[in-house]
Amino acid sequence: MKFDVLTLFPEMFESLNKSVIGKAQEKELININLVNIRDFSKDKHKKVDDTPYGGGSRNGYES
């Protein structure tokens, strides 16, 4: 069984290797592919934020 996980924090999933899921990966029963969304950012700082829906300021406060 193959799982593709899209995440901003792939390091959070490293703990899975030390669990029952890790044993299943060793036995090749499952495959977990972690995809870091920031790798696809076109921004030089790897930002992935978008503008707020409906306009308004980026920080949530009107100026």
Q: What is the pTM for the complete model shown?
A: 0.66
pLDDT of residue 38: 94
Apex CA 1: angle with CA 19 and CA 12, to 5°?
40
Q: Which residues of the chain, if any, have pLDDT below 50? A: none
Domain boundaries, the chain: 2-39
pLDDT recorded at residue 59: 63
Which H or E element spans position 41?
Answer: none
pLDDT computed for residue 62 by the predictor: 58
Burial class (CB in 10 A: 0-12, 13-18, 19+), 9: exposed
**25 vs 15: CA distance, rounded Å:** 13
